[in-house]
Structure formats: structure tokens, C-alpha cells
Amino acid sequence: MKISPDFVQEIKFRNKIDDVISSYVNLKRAGSNFVGLCPFHSEKTPSFTVFRNTETYHCFGCGAGGDVITFIMQAENLDYIGALEFLCNRVGMQMPEDDGKSETVKRSRFYDMNREAARFFNKSLYSDAPGAAEARKYVFETRGLPKSAVTHFGLGYAPDSFSALRDHMRSLGYRDEELAEGFLCGRSNKNGGYFDYFRGRVIFPIIDNIGNVIGFGGRAMGDAKPKYLNSSDTPVFKKSRNLYSLNFARTNCADGLILCEGYMDVIGVNLAGFSNAVATLGTALTEEQARIMAKYTKKVIIAYDSDGAGVNATKRAIPILSDAGLEVKVLHMEGAKDPDEYVRKFGRDKFRALINGSSGKLDFLLNSVLGKYDVNIAEDKIKAAEELCAIAADIYSDIEREVYIAKIADVMKIDTASVKNDTERIRRKKKYEAKENEKRKIVMATMGIGDTVNRDYAKYTKAAHAEESILGMLFMYPEYIEKIRNGSIELSQDDFVTEFDRRVFAALLERGSGGGFGMLADAFSPEEISRMSEMQVARQALSDNSEKVLKDTIDALREAAKNYSHNATDDLDAAMRIIQSKKTKK
């Protein structure tokens, strides 16, 4: 779909950036701008700034930046066209007519493809397909699910066959390449043939908040490995940014979300009358998933398995959820390994009591440490105290930290002042290490080391710096681009040394910068757009961005490019001399 700059401008005019972002971030005025906690990374001090004069945003912590279109792309996990549609719907605008070749059509086709696959899996559960009888026994007898639950969650079965799904989907007009891209089929490295990805597994469709099937999870029958198999990322699915059953839980989580480990735990908890349960999708909890939960609730109750792996996963999840601003509680289960088993053994009332009596995160961490040591033994007591002080040192709130220090002192029978002194010592050490790490990052960023967006930066630091200054001014002043086009300002792609900046310049020449970053969001990744935002923000901070400064910077770029060419020859000659001298010595 070809989107005109005028249409993009109209979308942005009707969707004021501070109005849109304030739905996601608590913004406070800071002069002519707004600031708030960044929604794209965890932070305690606001570094996320919305610039009203340029209708852009930039986070000085993680580097995320762009305009209202790129913000919606990141916040709602949408592609370029999806973000435009979202903003159009927000203000009652109509998207231009589709020519049948756009990303919108592709995305819609993937949704249709997944829906047809889900229907196939569901029908296969009740069929005579290979392994279906065993799957029914597992679902209805072993797990004791009523048919209503199977229907509600859309459960199904992938026949134990290499081509059952593929044959069905091809009969509906879907191509092998599409099925592979949607992770419904795999492709053999040996003969290049396609085969069903899910085979002999109970299937759990993953559904987004508006009812689209976006992926699948498959549970093996018997002892087959891996026990669970999940869709990899596809054009409509990012497992790190989605949660199982959030489509149901998001409207029932005023009192909190119950975070489970697996699909069956979510379903079992739902059957007990708790429809506010969700689960991660075959991966450890991510910051993105925590921030998604924080959009719908203020409290999360972790209900992971009670085994060692579950306890360790809980420990990892607590800081991630806390950093997202969520109150964290932990379910302590005895007599069952997971929520599904607990509900089936003890019933919904006992489970409700378990939720009501869930411990705070600090009590959980305290008990998990004390469970490892015998504090009657001096060495164990010292180790336990060190671990507890390290936990206390990570607590951001002064009041919360003081309360926890007092509790450690009481439980361990240690003087409160001693616990506080050790905790503060650990905090000072961590602050120093963080400061030194930040310094290293700044130095590396300045030198371009580890730059994943502009990989040429480290090789051509001076030229790359000039390039970014030039592009920053072009983003600020679209009229400069017009002067480059008509020859009033001499600048071409050949003047650029780094491939990334050359590509940005080419896009600006073609499209202009009047439409903002949103006009480039279909051709560049969010990380690349954020880098462009950094360029503009850096120039905005300077008082002189005149045409003379632009021309002087272009001259500096050309001079730097000459020097790099010359130095490269010198370096090559020097390297050859060293190699030759070593040969002579031999």
C-alpha cells in the first residue's frame, strides 16, 4: 500500500504525540516538553522525553525514539501499516484503498492461515487421525478437562503425520513458503522438502487481544522430547511480547494477574473460577511481558511450579516484575507441584485461600535463602546473611529497604546496624560498578564499538560523527533536503562513508523529512529509527543549525573521508611491512 506523505501528516496532526503517549506513560511537564518513565525499558528516574515542538519522543536511557507512529509500532507490537490503522481508528480516519499487495494484506492472510490451522487441529482431536485417541484420553481423562474448556481455549491435536496439516492447508490455497514462514511447516536440510512442524501433540492456540490466532504451543504425548514445542517468531507473533490467555485475563484482572508457567496451569486455574491467569510462551519472563501486564493491572501473583526450577524462575521474575512497577506476590503450594494439580486435588476454595494468603516478594526471598542454610552453623549463618543483605541492597525504596533490613536482623538475630552497614556497603559497590560500566558504555558508544545499527561507525568515527550531524539537521529542516535536490547545497550519497547513514540519506532524498520518522518506519527497524531520533535530538540541543553549519559539516565529512582513505592505505602498507619482516626473520 502506497501511503502519501500528506496522509501521514494528517494522521500525526490528529494524533497529537503527547495525547497518545499519555495513554501509556504518566507524563509531567518539563518546560515546553514532557517527561516520564520510559515504557520500553525499566527505570526509576524519568529519562523519556516528549518534544511537543517536533512531535517526537526520545529516551535518554535506552535510546528509543521516533514519532507517534513509531511509538505505536513499539508500544502495540505492530508493523508500519498496523500502526497507521491503529491511529486511524483512534481518531475515526479511513485508511487509503488497498491495492492487494500491502503488509496489511500479508498480515491478514497469516491470521486467516493460523485460524484455518486452529480449526484443523480442533477437528483432528475428535477424528480417527493417528494418535487422536491418545490425545483425547490425555485431555479428557488424564487432565479432566470438560469439552467446554476445550472449546473455550480452542484446544486441538496435531496428527502424528509429516503432512496432514500441510496437505489440508495446501488444499485451501496456502503455499509451502507461507506455511514455513508462519512456523506451521519446517523444511528439510537434506532434501528441501516441507513437513508438519507440530506432530503428535495436543495443540494450544495463542490468541491476541482482538481474537486473532497468532501462534501455537504443542504438548507431546508420552515421553517425547521436547515436552512443549512453541511457534517461533513470525510476521504476526513475537513470543517475548505476548502472554497466553491474556485475551481473556485482561478484562478480569482488577485484583491482579496470576502468572503461571504453562498452558495447562492457566486452564486449570480458569476452571477453578479464576479467569485472570496468564503464562509465558516457552521462554523465561521478559521485560516486555512485564510491561504488558503493567498496562492491565498493578499486582501479579507468581504461581510457578513448586520444584527447584520453579523457585529459581520465581527469583528471576521478581525483579523484572518489580522494575515494571508491579506489586509482586508469590503463591506457596504444598502437596502439589503446580496450580493445575493443586486445584484438582484441593478444589477452588483452597486455591482461593492460597491466593489470599500469598506472601510478599521479600518474604519469599527471605524464606528461599533461609531454606538453603542451617543458621545454627556459623559459616551458614554468614552466607545466609550475605545473600539477604545483597537482596536488601537491590531494593529501590528506602522505606521498604529499612523494613526488610529490620526483618533480616530479627530473623538472623543480628544487630540491625550491622545488617544496614553491610547492605549499604553492597549498594555503594553496585553503584560504583554501575557508574564504571556506564562510563565504558559511553566511551564505546563514542568510538562506535559494539554499534549494531551503524556497524561502520568504529572504523570511520570522525566521518560517521559528521554524517550524523548532517542527517540530524536534515531531519530538523526539510528545506535543506529540497536545496540538496536542486543543487543549492552539494551533497550526494557518494559523500557518505558508512552504509547505514548512506541508506538514511537516500531515503530522505526520496521521501523528504516532512513526514517525520513515521515516513521511514516501513523501511527501517525501530532500532534504526531510534538512532535517527538520536541524531535529531543531538542537533536540537545545539543553538546553531544554520545552513552555513550544514555546509561546514559537509566539508568536514569530505575531509574526513579523504583522511580515512589515506590512512587505510598507510595501515595496509604497515601491515605488509610487518608480515614481510617476520618472513625475513624466519
Q: What is the pLDDT of residues 245-254, one digit of tens each?
A: 999 998 888 8
Do both 85 and 108 map to the same domain? no
Residue 367 resides in a domain: no
**Nearest residue to 476 (alpha-carbon basis) of 532, 521, 535, 536:** 536
pLDDT at residue 165, as a whole number: 97
- Record the cell numbers describing residue 563, joined without a space: 583522511
Do both 117 and 216 map to the same domain? yes
- Record the cell numbers describing residue 219, joined without a space: 504438548
Q: Which of 91, 123, 151 is the last residue of a domain?
A: 91
DSSP string, 355-371: HHTPEEHHHHHHHHHHT
pLDDT at residue 440, as a whole number: 67
pLDDT at residue 586, as a whole number: 45
pLDDT at residue 449, as a whole number: 54
Residue 585 resides in a domain: no
Provide the Cα torsion 128, 130, 133, 134; round to 10°. -170
Do both 198 and 283 map to the same domain? no
10-residue mean pLDDT series, the chain (586 residues): 77 91 91 89 87 89 90 83 88 75 72 96 95 95 94 96 96 96 92 94 92 94 86 87 92 91 94 94 86 87 90 90 88 91 93 90 88 90 93 85 92 94 93 78 56 83 92 92 93 94 93 81 86 91 91 93 58 45 48
Residue 165 resides in a domain: yes
Residue 290 resides in a domain: yes
Do both 251 and 326 map to the same domain? yes
Do both 220 and 161 map to the same domain? yes
DSSP H/E element including 35 = strand 33-36
Do both 154 and 188 map to the same domain? yes
Do both 260 and 231 map to the same domain? no
Do both 415 and 466 map to the same domain? no
Domain that holds residue 534: 461-579
Q: What is the pLDDT of residues 528-565, one digit of tens each?
A: 999 999 999 999 888 899 999 999 999 999 999 887 65
Residue 412 resides in a domain: yes
Q: Which of 58, 91, 124 is the last residue of a domain?
A: 91
Residue 363 resides in a domain: no
Do both 289 and 396 map to the same domain? no
How far are the Cα atoms of 4, 109, 122 from residue 96, in angstroms, in the given order?
Answer: 9, 19, 37
CATH of the domain at 517: 1.10.860
Do both 108 and 183 map to the same domain? yes
Q: What are phi and psi of 506, to 5 degrees?
A: -60, -40
The total of structural domains in the chain comes to 5
Residue 450 resides in a domain: no
CATH of the domain at 151: 3.90.980.10
- Record the cell numbers describing residue 221, joined without a space: 504425548
**Nearest residue to 82 (alpha-carbon basis) of 47, 111, 53, 43:** 111
Do both 211 and 111 map to the same domain? yes
Global pTM value: 0.70
Do both 333 and 419 map to the same domain? no
CATH of the domain at 49: 3.90.580.10
CATH of the domain at 284: 3.40.1360.10
Q: Which of 216, 237, 258 is the last residue of a domain?
A: 237
Residue 329 DSSP one-character state: E
Residue 45 resides in a domain: yes
- Please write down the long-range contacts of 311-320, taking CB distance under 8 Å and 24 or more positions apart: 311/368, 313/261, 313/284, 313/285, 314/364, 315/365, 315/368, 316/284, 316/285, 317/259, 317/284, 317/285, 318/361, 318/364, 318/365, 319/394, 320/42, 320/285, 320/286, 320/287, 320/290
